[in-house]
Amino acid sequence: MLTRIPAYAEHLQARQLATGTIGPYLAELRRLTAFMASESLELPTLTLPAIVRYINQSGRSALTTRRSLTVLSQFMVWAKHPLAAELGDIRLPRFHAPSPDYLSVIEEKVLRKVLKIRTDIRSRTRDRALFCLLLDTGIRVSEAAGLVVGDVELDEKLIRLAAKGGKQRTRFLPVETRDLLKPLVVGESSESPLFQAQRGAPISDRHIRRLLNLWAGLAGITRPVHPHLLRHTFATSLLKKTGNLRLVQLALDHESPKTTAIYAHVADEELRAAIEGRRS
């Protein structure tokens, strides 16, 4: 089994999956390998009951179980293992996806304000452009970190994002976001990282997380924050404005509407508030 994992890693890289996706996939396969060793099993002799024992041994949540089975199923398909067809027979537990965490209207307003007024912080121009871009487009933090100057089309009012299979996606840039990006674009080489760290290197996801914690603290936001929370904020705000889940799905580039359904709670809250206030 261990000998197959490096080849599978190359397969995942060829599919252009994000590093943050590949890592958990390979970790799952290593855990399965350890389980197989404890039961003296080899890949050709792995059976469905053994998979069930593996899944049940660690007290996983329903959501984690589903994710694990997805990883194992995809691996078995790649390995052309008979279990690929049998994994669908495992009865999956039901689970309720948690509502996404997002900034309140007041929190977003204060964060934007502090990004605007704290001119004493040297990286403010870059940071304001970065976090407003995340709030105004809903792109992933990894996508923002990977942008180069040539990806920004100010005249066309859009940015270009790399997608799987060498394709490109575009995202509309609101006028304020374009104005914030302009100082980072004008006069720069098209190949230069849009958001630069020290010595012109691309900014990392980890660095962006640290910066967001810094600015959230300056804004008086004391609860934990993370960059993906800004994507949730964009999606929640867009749904409140339009009431259209399909539009949110397109904006977030979700392949399945089931992925976007986690934002349905927003519509429920709006409906509840409308009913409560109908006679007032």
User: Considering 160, 226, 228, 265, which one is annotated as catalytic?
Assistant: 228
Percent of the chain as helix, strand, coil, to the nearest 5: 65, 5, 30
* Catalytic, out of 25, 54, 102, 263: 263
Is residue 3 classed as helix, strand or coil in its secondary structure?
helix
Q: Is 254 a catalytic residue?
A: yes
CA distance 143 to 161: 7
CA 187, CA 149: separation in Å to the nearest integer?
A: 10
Respond yes or no: is residue 231 known to be catalytic: yes
Catalytic residue among 60, 67, 254, 265: 254
Q: 226 is written with which tokens?
A: 């993370």
Residue identified by tokens 């949110």 is 248
Catalytic residue among 140, 171, 178, 232: 140
DSSP helix/strand/coil, 21: helix
Q: Is the dihedral of CA 203, 204, 205, 211 positive or negative?
A: negative
Strand order in the sheet with 158-162: 152-153, 158-162, 168-172
Does residue 164 have an active-site annotation? yes
Point out the catalytic residue in the list 81, 171, 231, 232.
231
Q: Exactly one of 164, 246, 258, 272 is catalytic; name it.
A: 164
Name the residues annotated as catalytic.
140, 164, 228, 231, 254, 263
